[in-house]
């Protein structure tokens, strides 16, 4: 299991606070940036180096991804959940309208997504294992592979044997956020349900890697804890996974808390400037890894960050089950969106800034 960082948080903060301009310059010029360089690049001292960070990140992005941006769309299967996560709109304690899709309904939703031209789909669900079972997912994925070249999942954690069943059914990628790597904060925010077990949650990505998933998606929910500490833990987790499961590719996602059902106040605000700084720093230290930016973010920010760092983005997202066939504004959402453009409009916007939207970047026959 991924070991926790051995040095204390106070030592990390002290290191960050003592970063000087020359330290940032050295990190920017490093041929192989280290985790210490990552801390230098996310320090307050690096704020005035954002133009140089954009330039360095863009070189890395263009080297590995060119001017392409992969588009994908999430498909929500259920907004029922057995967990009580204080920050989440799917919190089981909330008395809200909920819905589950049958396999046939999910396929119909997927056909709408396919009609947009999208060839990569992400299956999302609250932790609803009795209904969204492995059998359900096996059947659904088997049918979706006739429509999409790339299918990924962002659902409840499973053991290696169940993950292997889904991999054999055709699932290519696994996304599983730790949410926050700070143990105390994690325990305070996850009030009930299987997700309350911090150590078990941390272990599941390794189980997915052992099952053979081609892409492993990591992320922290920015706003729950000190973003610099959490992002360092995420980077170290990625390095640990890469060392042991080198056949899988790492993907980083950067969700920021947006309003949802319930009454949750953001404990650790991260500004747009800090957010950009973080994503640029990740592209600099992880040049080959995929970086995804979601429709949680406003269109101006999304267009800015795909020019320099992000290599994939969600498009025309609905965050409620059944939301593509029939928009239901009263249904329970996991979070709110800030970029609701259609795929056509997003395609035009990306081409206008010199980028090449990619609808298919993977096929099992390759």
Condensed to tens digits (0 to 9), the pLDDT of residues 1-44 reads 555 567 889 999 999 999 999 999 999 999 999 999 999 999 99
Q: What is the pLDDT of residues 114-162, one digit of tens each?
A: 999 999 999 999 999 999 999 999 999 999 999 999 999 999 999 999 9
Q: What is the pLDDT of residues 236-267, one digit of tens each?
A: 999 999 999 999 999 999 999 876 655 788 88
Handedness of CA 358, 360, 362, 365 (dihedral sign): negative
Cβ neighbours of residue 56 under 8 Å, at least 6 residues apart?
Answer: 28, 280, 284
Separation of alpha carbons 45 and 55, rounded Å: 17
Give the pLDDT of residue 263: 73
Q: What is the pLDDT of residues 53-69, one digit of tens each?
A: 999 999 999 999 999 99
- Name the DSSP letter for residue 181: -
Give the pLDDT of residue 89: 85
CATH code of the domain made up of 9-358: 3.20.20.70
Average pLDDT for residues 185-198, to the nearest whole number? 96
The token pair that represents 173 in the structure block: 């990628």
Using CB atoms within 10 Å of the CB of residue 232, give its burial: 0 to 12 exposed, 13 to 18 middle, 19+ buried. buried
Separation of alpha carbons 133 and 126, rounded Å: 12
Q: Please, what is the angle between helix 299-308 and helix 50-65, to 10°?
A: 70
Output the CA–CA distances (angstroms, integers) from residue 188 to 152, 180, 198, 303, in the order listed. Answer: 30, 11, 11, 35
Give the pLDDT of residue 363: 73
Give the domain ranges of the chain.
9-358
Output the CA–CA distances (angstroms, integers) from residue 281 to 17, 28, 291, 305, 317, in the order listed. Answer: 17, 9, 11, 12, 27
Q: Please, what is the angle between helix 272-285 and helix 299-308, to 10°?
A: 20
Cβ(306)–Cβ(293) below 8 Å:
yes
pLDDT higher than threshold 70 for residue 365: no
Separation of alpha carbons 304 and 279, rounded Å: 11
Average pLDDT for residues 91-102, to the nearest whole number? 90
Average pLDDT for residues 276-292, to the nearest whole number? 98
């Amino acid at each position: 299991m991924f070991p926790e960082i051995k040095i204390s948080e106070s030592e990390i903060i002290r290191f960050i606070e003592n970063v000087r301009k020359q330290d940032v310059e050295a990190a920017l010029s490093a041929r192989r940036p280290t985790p210490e360089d990552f801390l230098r690049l996310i320090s307050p001292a690096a704020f005035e180096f954002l133009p140089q960070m954009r330039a360095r990140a863009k070189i890395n992005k263009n080297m590995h991804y060119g001017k392409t941006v992969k588009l994908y769309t999430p498909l929500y299967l259920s907004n029922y959940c057995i967990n009580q996560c204080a920050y989440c709109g799917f919190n089981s304690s909330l008395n809200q309208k909920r819905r589950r899709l049958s396999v046939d309904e999910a396929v119909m939703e997927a056909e709408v997504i396919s009609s947009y031209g999208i060839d990569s789909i992400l299956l999302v669900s609250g932790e609803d294992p009795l209904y969204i079972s492995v059998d359900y997912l096996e059947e659904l994925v088997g049918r979706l592979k006739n429509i999409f070249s790339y299918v990924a999942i962002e659902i409840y954690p499973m053991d290696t044997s169940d993950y292997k069943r889904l991999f054999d059914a055709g699932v290519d990628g696994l996304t599983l956020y730790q949410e926050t790597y700070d143990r105390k904060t994690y325990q305070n925010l996850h009030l009930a349900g299987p997700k309350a077990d911090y150590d078990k949650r941390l272990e599941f990505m390794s189980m997915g890697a052992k099952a053979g998933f081609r892409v492993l998606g990591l992320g922290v929910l920015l706003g729950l804890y000190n973003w610099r500490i959490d992002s360092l833990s995420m980077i170290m987790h990625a390095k640990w996974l890469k060392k042991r499961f080198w056949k899988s590719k790492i993907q980083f996602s950067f969700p920021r808390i947006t309003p949802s059902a319930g009454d949750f106040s953001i404990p650790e605000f991260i500004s747009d400037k800090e957010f950009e700084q973080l994503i640029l720093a990740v592209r600099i230290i992880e040049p080959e890894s995929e970086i995804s930016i979601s429709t949680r973010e406003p269109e101006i920010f999304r267009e800015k960050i795909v020019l320099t760092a992000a290599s994939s983005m969600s498009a025309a997202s609905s965050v409620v089950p059944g939301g593509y066939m029939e928009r239901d504004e009263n249904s329970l959402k996991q979070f709110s969106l800030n970029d609701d453009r259609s795929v056509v409009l997003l395609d035009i916007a990306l081409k206008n800034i010199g980028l090449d939207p990619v609808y298919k970047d993977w096929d099992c026959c390759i």
